[in-house]
Structure 1
Amino acid sequence: MNHPQPNNPLHGTTLEQVVTRLVEHYGWSELGDRIDIRCFTQDPSIKSSLKFLRRTPWARKKVEDLYIAVLTDGPRS
């Protein structure tokens, strides 16, 4: 059973979808400027980013928070 979760904007969205959408929106360079982690700044790829973010809760939270901000408010400077 799939129940809607109005208080969880990430419900039903995979981490891969989040990272892919942010890369499409910002590109790797700007994403690395906004969230300074090596998987975004040095030889970035979706695969390496997912591996790092799945093991690193603080980085994943930053990525998810940026994704939510892009969805709700548009791009932030």
Structure 2
Amino acid sequence: MSEQKNRSRHLIDPEIISAVDLFPTTDLSESLLMESRQNQSKMLPKIDVTQLFPVTFEENIVPSYFGGPDIRIEII
């Protein structure tokens, strides 16, 4: 691995660095990203995870304390 691609290696926990080294590295491009997404979608089954893990969604608007724009908060 070149020094340019290795700039953030020191941020990885030394206890798991050997596991991280097992993942292949590559230069990411738009076409490679799209190809990867298509391959993953073929390998992973389409399931509705909300049936396995029920989720509730709530959206609230909180007024800004200093007269600025209101703040939208999403609670899941």
TM-score band, normalised by shorter chain: under 0.3
Q: Which has the higher strand share?
A: 2
The structure whose RCO (Cα within 8 Å, separation 6+) is larger is 1
TM-score (norm: length of structure 1) = 0.22
